[in-house]
A and B are shown apart, each in its own frame.
Chain A
């Protein structure tokens, strides 16, 4: 599903964010991406959604080399990838319904179809009664669920989440992760970047760890030794 081949990314300022990173995530897999702040997690996700381009190496989705994707094709790539951000990236002057409907409007769905799909997905994230509210009137956890609803409303085969639980307490964080598990069980590949090691430690998922731009571990959380703060191989 996602394959990195010897990918390095150096930002224009000379900051090396990723160094020769290689890994493969299979279709329908759920994995975490972790590491300290500044380790390169966001950069890695941005290479998948083509918000950045690799300096060296190849990123492939479903066997397609993203280096060959032209600028004008990028929007169509993003329609296959549901993206969730720590800052939600919601439109604050539009209702929850309109926010979630946005990807469907962009893809030209009919009015009827949009209504049906948005209701279904809001039901799934537990916000059926908040459709007419403005995001500002929602709690942090609810806002994040609006973001998730928007990411999955057009049923993409791949979900990327960058610090989706960043501002939430452990209980709310767990609820959000449960949501991701639901979608994963429906066959969606999920990659979640988080520096919240406590959260991942309680689960049994494949975890990729970055340190200063290098991939230092790739394995199941339960294989980690006791010191979770600085996982070693």
Chain B
């Protein structure tokens, strides 16, 4: 197991290098001079030159890259051109917000998607199945921003039940924190729930046909236990893998949703950084996201191993 993880980590290195090169080159190809952005109203050539010098914008691109890489390996993601804060600090500030939102979305996605998937598989071809599929399709086709705005209008403006925007850390005020997270979590979660539901459904349909399900019934196991203990347990593998990947995507930040609910997460950070040509921040975020994605992939693989006795004993 450990050697497997180690192997996977080694494979992850070239992936990360590739991502870093890609990110760096793309940044350089973007039009616009960061020194100008940084200088603001100032157009004094001397000031601009000073800025270029300070941020090594005059060095050959390859030097800039290696310099950036070297710093990054030491945990230094650079300084934000705009706020003058270390990128690492900015990310460390926003990451918990995004993780919290991602967890909230995942919980909601699981709570809806998995029971709906199981029900529609068990009642395949009946009204239950059609209704679940219809809702799932709606969930997939309704744009997040629209659902978000509608929720704000209904729940916050009309009913006044939940705050329309803002963010509160769960450590300072857990109740308020939950209140601010429910709607954005729901918006993100419903879209994922639809995906999760369809995968759960197809995994369950496959498993329910298996001979060992017939064996379970032949043992007198009651239908609910047949479905959960015998069928769902075996359908879990693809679901868990998918979930880890979906979670990885959530970590990349939900730009629109965060914007609508003015949540100060990754999504907002990246939008602000891109619009202000804050190179260091964009690069830092993309690297972080890529690393997070690779990590979630690894977790998916590890879970796959842990859940699958056949794989486990082959190690």
Q: Do A and B come from one complex?
A: no
Residues of B bordering A, CB below 8 Å: none
